Amino acid sequence: MRRISILIILLVCTWLLFFDSISGQAFDWRTADRSSAGIAPKPEEEPRAVVQVYAARTVRWRKYFAVHSWIATKEKDAKAYETYHVIGFRARRGLNVVVVEEGIPDARWFGHEPELLRDLRGPAAERAIPKIREAARTYPYQYEYRAWPGPNSNTFISYILRRTPEIGVELPPNAIGKDWIEDGRIVGMSESGTGGQLSLFGLFGVTVGLGEGLELNLLGLTFGVDVLRPALKLPMIGRLGVKDAPVFLADGEEVVLASQPQQPTLNIRAHSR
């Protein structure tokens, strides 16, 4: 049975690579769609500070297995957003892989639609932005990148999440690299800050937390279940069930309830535990 399972996995992977080689022949990253998906509020229409966390499928064959994540921020009364990414190809040129620049917060990731994971606004976002900047500055893998098992773009965003409690959510289960704990440590806090994690270089581990539920990491693939917001967490597929949300709201957080781009929003004043 074990040999059959391995054979099936190999056949599926071979088919995906073959299909991608056919369908992706005309792919050119220079002309791929990087336009706004219409999710983020326009700066001229939203004076409050904003922090948003996004994820979108990666490009070429990797899109079947993983997502790329990033963070966008806007200071109070600012006229533009800053985006926080790790760009892997920069490592091959000896450049810093961390890119912080003015940009489109909700840009399609080379044609793939972004998913909004967290939308934080108001005073809580104002407090979070300096922490995000400091985490980006102190990220320990400024010149390193490995697509698997890490450190990669998801490792970078996970590093920021662990140091910005106001965000309070986790990356999707198919964000490969999120379980790489910095400095070779085996034990750390979970991304949501509501539990703990045991991880061996992002390859094997377990995470338990109020925000995460229970997650098992096998060779960088995440299997798990979220109890508070009922959902299954599966490799390649991602999260199936109720959308993730913080267990505790940040003090004074102004929650924005909007499930689709360009829809009316409802603002609620919320307080922490």
User: Could you read off the pLDDT of 12-40 as tens digits, one per residue?
Assistant: 444 444 444 444 444 566 778 899 999 99
Looking at the structure of the chain, the number of domains it has is 1
Integer angstrom CA distances of residue 151 from 75, 99, 154, 196: 28, 15, 8, 19
Domain presence at residue 181: yes
Amino acid identity for residue 23 in this structure:
S
Sheet holding 254-257, edge to edge: 98-102, 82-86, 67-74, 50-57, 115-121, 254-257, 266-269
The reply to whether 12 falls in a domain is: no
| Whether 246 contacts 184, CB under 8 Å | no
Q: Is 211 contained in some domain?
A: yes
245 within some domain: yes
Instruction: Give CA–CA dist 28/30, Å, rounded.
Output: 5
- Asked if residue 164 belongs to a domain, the reply is yes
Inside any domain, residue 57: yes
pTM (2 decimals)? 0.84
Residue 27: its pLDDT value, please?
52
- Tens digits of residue pLDDT in 93-113: 999 999 999 999 999 999 999
For 110, the domain range is 44-269
Is 195 within a domain?
A: yes
Task: Output the pLDDT for position 257.
Answer: 55
Segment 142-162, tens digit of pLDDT: 999 999 999 999 999 999 999
Q: Which residue has the tokens 């990253």?
A: 29
Q: Does residue 259 or residue 122 have the better pLDDT?
A: 122
Q: Is the residue at 31 inside a domain?
A: no
